[in-house]
Amino acid sequence: MAFAAPAPIPSRTQYVLDAIKHGILTGQLVPGQALVETELAARFGVSKTPVREALKTLAGTGLVVMSQYKGVTVREVDAAMAHQVYDVRLLLEPEALRRTIARQASLDVAADALVRADEAEDNAERSLANREFHRALYVPCGNPLLSRMLDEVRDQAALVSAVVWGAIPSWEREATEHREILRLARAGDADGAARALHDHIASFVHRAFPAQEDAV
């Protein structure tokens, strides 16, 4: 029995979806902020239908919360949420990188992302470049399902980063760690790169939420 491919998202809905997601992941729309359909429709020059569909999709990715009483809001970030998201990354991302290295896949995209992060003029650009760096490490792993699983938590991880960077601007330390991960990966040291990546992910969430270090 053949399964039908999912229907493509209409262009107006995709436009609104991308714009809202960008606002959330760059900190322009902050956790807890209400997302009112009529206001967003007027802002983007569309009807409420594409806004409603975009918000439903964002709720499915965990970036917004839909409540019968509060309406739609940007998802709040707390220690429990952050540790759940980063626990998934700790379990999957180092193994994906190990497989990427074993396949001798190109890491040029990751290197380019590091350059963009270094040259970023603000946290928004830096955050987007860092997301691309991490994704470029796991996408070539050879297992599309593993890549999709990591993609599913990618936006939530970026939301955590945006919130944490607002309080703890630690991107210089993380940039140094990124360069070391890439160096080990390009040298073919799969175990070393995987350990460095694991430590990088773990140290970030532990610095941000030190009281919850033993929760994962």
What are 52-102's pLDDT values in tens digits?
A: 999 999 998 889 999 888 899 999 989 999 999 999 999 999 999 999 999
Residue numbers of the chain with a pLDDT score lower than 70: 1-10, 211-216
pLDDT at 62: 87
- The pTM of this model reads 0.80
For the chain, what are the domain ranges? 11-74, 79-215
Q: Which helix (H) or strand (E) holds 157?
A: helix 144-167
79-215: CATH topology is Four Helix Bundle (Hemerythrin (Met), subunit A) (1.20.120)
Q: For domain 11-74, which architecture applies?
A: Orthogonal Bundle (1.10)
Is-contact 12 46, C-beta < 8 A? yes
The Cα–Cα gap between 139 and 84 comes to: 21
pLDDT at 59: 92
